[in-house]
Structure 1
Amino acid sequence: FNKLDGNVPSTLSPFSDDFNVHTAVSYLQNHESVGESKPLQLFNERLYFARLAGYEQTLADRLLSMSERKLNINNEVLAGLLNTYFPADSTVETDWQKVACAIAATKGFSVITGGPGTGKTTTVTKLLAILQSLYETVPLSIKLVAPTGKAAARLSESILGAKNKLTTIPDDIKTLIPQSAQTIHRLLGVKPFTNKFRHNKSNPLHLDVLIIDEASMVDLSLMAKLIEALPAHARLILLGDKDQLASVDTGSVMSDLCQGLTLGQTPRYSQARCDELNNLCFNNEAKLAAQSASEFKLADCIAFLQHSYRFDAQSGIGQLALAVNTNNTGILNYVEQESTEGRFNDVILEYDFVAKPIEKLVKSAASHYAKYLNLIAQGTGVAQVHAAFASYQLLAAVREGDYGVHSLNQRIERVLQQQGLITVSPNTHHYTGMPIMVSQNDYQLKLFNGDIGILMPDESNQLKAIFIDEQGNQRAFSPARLPAHDKVYVMTIHKSQGSEFNYTAMVLPPLKQARMGINRQLVYTGITRAKNTFELVADKKVLQLAMSKSVSRASGLYERLTF
């Protein structure tokens, strides 16, 4: 406000030692630029641009309205369906997947959150079967969306895989479960050269149920525009990991909605909600007990999956992820000791690496990648080559510098060439064995940002970029036809979100470079890409710095949804 008012007192400057928030709020309340129908707005001592305040209030109002809408559900039929798809299991104390389906089936709005490998896709596939069974006489129109093309393609593959595995779903119900997902922008219909969409409040979408996967990546603006475009009767279900990387743009919608969830604890449901869920899921056995009343109005809409099928929570990977996510140095020290003494053989911590030549990391990665390159040389099939490549992935936190993606990709490529495993010609950008990641969506070719392919000779000995999906379907393209892409011996942690690898190695930059942009969400995301083995190459001080820094977004969404 210096430019507006000249010399503003130091008590109004957040950068001043004697800044006083109450004085600042009082000043702003009387300012000509602040208030209803003004460029700036105040809410609970938060100063907003009017546009963002509007998005936040719109989202809060619509979520609350959807959560309170009465649904015509036969609870006896629903309980029977839940028991069919989730039979009693004495080895599990609380079947959180079953609880999640009960929550989403009985609310117009719901969130299903959980860490990696907790079965979010399996849960939502069973949920869709349950919903279609409840409304079998008039099947529901269901749409699946995700923030990016890669995430949408992965959701499509995962739903198809889950449908094929779930033999308890009748064939006539399976046909009613969609398996083709699209991006949010594609669903809404982007108007060229504008930031507006074809579908909006005046022209709502034609659907009954909308599933949004990787919801943590959706920013406030897009979520508000999407929810405004929903018809009044529609259900909205958000899927995602509340602890993964937040959206690039403004807001932290998923994190705000999941505030207060703690692993190992029952979410703070109301007594009435606990009674309802115990009746639906556990034949009135009081497995869910009400905690202290939550001030959050959407508490009864949140489902928290707590058992990982990707790795054991008590494994080294699980414990390291917990240590980072909770900034718990005690657990970190325990993981270090167990790893050093060989009791945790799934975690390798290379703390002293920064004092050694970087060639050690490069040679280690090259030795892993040699496996798939040897298979290509032997004429092995595409599926085996892709599986060998995908079994290992090196992740970097940054793009630039010696410990960044660009430098490490070049170094690994150079070592592989020196070993005679690849032949890189100065006259061509592509070569046999080159792994690539698409960096630009191409809807015509159905190649999306984040898709990974490998350049290999086809039956006619022509070099092709071959992609393979989770169902084993192969697609080959001439390199000249490909959209923008990069080599991917190394990828950023951001690009790895949503993927998993048997062996995941992650390198963090030196302390000086790590002070900007390194945080616990980033490191947690990298760790939880690992299925069987995780290797960390970093200065321990950098890891501790990351653990101590959490992405904190200036948001009032949670406050707008509290009593």
Structure 2
Amino acid sequence: MADLNLMLSLWNAIPQNPKKGIPFRFILIGDPHQLPSVEKGAVLSDFLSALESKKADFVSRLEESNRQKSKGKANVSKIVVLAEEILRYSPENLNLGTKIDDSFPKTKTIGENSKYESEVVWLQNSANKVSDRLSRDEVVEKLWTEIFHPRISEIGTWKIDLNDPDFVLKFQEELKRFRCLTVFRNGYWGVEAIQTKIMNLAAQDLFHRKGQNPDFFAKRLSKRLYFIGLPILITQNDKNRKLFNGDIGIVLRMESTGELRAVFPIEGKLFSFALDTLPKHEPAFVMSIHKSQGSEYDTILMYIPDHPESREEERFHRLLNRQILYTGITRAKNQVILAGNPKTWEIGIANSQKRDTGFKI
């Protein structure tokens, strides 16, 4: 995700005359097939292109993924297979592995007890529906009823001890359990709109249940809704609290005081913060694929939007491309659930983002 200006600053900071007898090495590690930086340049891929043309052995490649593991008898996860199919796509040689058709594994449920046919599945409607493709609101309702609400109920039963190593591990595992990803930040199919829909469902469901379940606690603060199990994403750095843009925590109720506080892992330990002292933040039920880059989750659901009206087509094609779909599915360690419009998926696979950083080595 380093852009051209950041890489130039880093390059200029390298000592020109290293200490005698002490060799200096500049090592870059990354995946050139993922999204380039939001700002200008495609630094890593251009570095690789330049270095691979040299006679010296400057580049090493990981040939086998140690992250994704297959659930079946085959040694290679279907996540890895699909990722490789995406990279190999060309109009002249259509890869059937990337096409969402009748042969693509499907599922009608997404809860924790769901049994998936493959590590990559397509979420479809029940058999008695007119269309097997779910609308945005249908996807959101399934997310809430089958994943988010059950997890919130489970978290509500936790015995909170921020100093217990077992609880720290449990907390960190929860952060990596599941994430919903989408291509856009704004608009009907974007993070903000989907997140708002989820929070509306939470308000309707959880406040209704509050009187029935004494272990559940929710409240509004500065027009925001907070409740046990709410994942929070920090969007502004706060150096004093060591909370930084991209950090994710969970709202928990402290057993000693009954207070609702946001808990974050910092340097291997858990710290709680009063809700009204947090820097800028938002719910983290849904994240953009851009924001998720560099993260890993056990399971991801990636929502593929409908094709937009003509006035939005240029922006749509600029953002929906092979790199963003590849980046999205490779955030998952164990399971990818695709949902939305299969035709849009195929449009994205065929659209490759190309940049030229312009430097020479």
Pairwise same-fold verdict (TM > 0.5): yes
More moved, 318-327 vs 440-449: 318-327
Q: Quick one: structure 1 residues 468 and 335, their matched pair in 2 at CA, closer, same or farther if it must change by over 3 Å?
A: farther
Which of residues 229, 248, 251 is equivalent to 2:38? 248
Alpha-carbon deviations, 1:331-371, whole Å to 9, x = none? 32499736259995211124788954433211221121123
Indicate conservation of the 8 Å contact 1:354/1:510, yes or no.
no
Q: Which amino acid aligns with 1:537?
A: A
- SS of match in other structure, 2:61: strand
- Choose between structure 1 and 2 for higher RCO, CA contacts under 8 A separated by at least 6 residues: 2
Paired position in structure 1 for 2:2: 218
Paired residues for 1:222-371 under 5 Å: 222-232=6-16, 233=18, 234-259=24-49, 296-297=53-54, 300-312=57-69, 314-327=76-89, 329-333=95-99, 337=103, 339-340=105-106, 344-350=117-123, 356-366=134-144, 367-371=146-150
TM-score, normalising length: structure 2: 0.77
**Structure 1 residue 309, shift from structure 2 partner:** 1.2
Residue 373 of structure 1: aligned partner: 152
User: Taking structure 1 as reference, are residues 492 and 299 closer, same or farther at Cα in structure 2, changes over 3 Å only?
Assistant: farther
The residue that corresponds to 2:181 in the other structure is 395
- Give the conservation status (yes or no) of the 8 Å contact 1:375–1:385: no
Do the aligned partners of residues 427 and 450 (structure 1) sit closer, same or farther apart at CA in structure 2, a change above 3 Å counting? closer
Shift of the 354–470 alpha-carbon distance from structure 1 to 2, 3 Å rule, reads farther
Q: Structure 1's 475 and 523: CA in aligned 2 closer, same or farther, altered over 3 A?
A: same
In 1, Cα distance between the equivalents of 2:100 and 2:297? Answer: 24
What is the rounded CA distance, in whole Å, between the counterparts of 2:120 and 2:197 in structure 1? Answer: 25
Inter-CA distance 252–299: structure 2 relative to 1 (3 Å threshold): farther
* Equivalent residue letter for 1:438: I
Work out whether residues 106 and 123 of structure 2, in 8 Å CA contact, stay in contact via their aligned partners in 1: no
Moved more, 453-462 or 341-350: 341-350
What amino acid does structure 1 have at the position aligned with 2:233? M
2:106 and 2:124 in contact (8 A); partners too? no
2-structure distance, mates of 1:256, 1:350: 37
What's the secondary structure of 1:304's corresponding residue? coil
SS of match in other structure, 1:240: coil
Q: Which has the larger radius of gyration?
A: 1
2:196 paired with 1:410: yes
RMSD of the alignment, in Å?
A: 2.9
2:274 is aligned, of 475, 478, 488, to 478
- Contact 1:258/1:302 (CA < 8 Å) preserved in 2? yes
- DSSP 3-state at the match of 2:10: helix
For the 8 Å contact 1:338–1:344, the answer to whether it is kept is no
SS in 1 for 2:226: coil
CA displacement at 1:304 relative to structure 2: 0.7
Q: Which amino acid aligns with 1:372?
A: R
Report the Cα distance in structure 2 between the residues aligned to 1:483 and 1:423, rounded to whole angstroms: 20
Unaligned runs of 5+ in 2: 19-23, 70-74, 108-114, 126-130, 161-166, 210-216
Deviation at 1:489, TM superposition (A): 1.0
Instruction: Letter of the 2:227 partner, please give it.
Output: T
Deviation, structure 1 residue 485: 0.8
336 and 529 in structure 1: CA distance in 2 versus 1, 3 angstrom threshold: farther
Contact 1:316 1:335 in 2 (8 A): no
TM-score of the pair, normalised by structure 1: 0.50
Helix, strand or coil: the match of 1:448?
Answer: coil
Q: Which moved more, 1:484-493 or 1:385-394?
A: 385-394
Tell me if 1:432 matches 2:227.
yes
Residues 1:450 and 2:246 aligned together: yes
User: Quick one: structure 1 residues 237 and 548, their matched pair in 2 at CA, closer, same or farther if it must change by over 3 Å?
Assistant: same
3-state SS in 1 of match to 2:148: helix
CA 1:298–1:485 in structure 2 vs 1: closer, same or farther (change >3 Å)? farther
On the 8 A contact 2:175/2:249 being kept in 1, the answer is: no
Deviation at 1:325, TM superposition (A): 2.3
SS at 1:491 equivalent: strand
Letter of the 1:375 counterpart: E
Matches within 5 A, 1:39-118: none
2: CA distance, partners of 1:335 / 1:534? 17
Distance in 2 (alpha carbons) for counterparts of 1:336 and 1:237: 45
Contact 1:246/1:252, CA 8 A, preserved across alignment: yes
Q: Percent identity?
A: 30
Once residues 394 and 299 of structure 1 are traced to their aligned partners in structure 2, the CA distance between those partners, rounded to angstroms, is: 43
Runs of 4+ with >6 A deviation: 351-354
- Residues 470 and 345 (structure 1), Cα distance of their counterparts in 2 relative to 1, 3 Å cut: farther
Query: Following the alignment from structure 2 to structure 1, what is the Cα–Cα distance between the partners of residues 257 and 290?
Result: 37
Matched, 1:544 2:324: no
CA deviation after TM superposition for structure 1 residue 520, in Å: 1.0
Task: Map residues 131-142 of structure 1 onto 2, 5 A cutoff.
Answer: none
Greater share of helix residues, 1 or 2? Answer: 1
- Match of 2:72? none
Contact 2:79 2:119 in 1 (8 A): yes
Aligned pairs (5 A) from 1:144-155? none
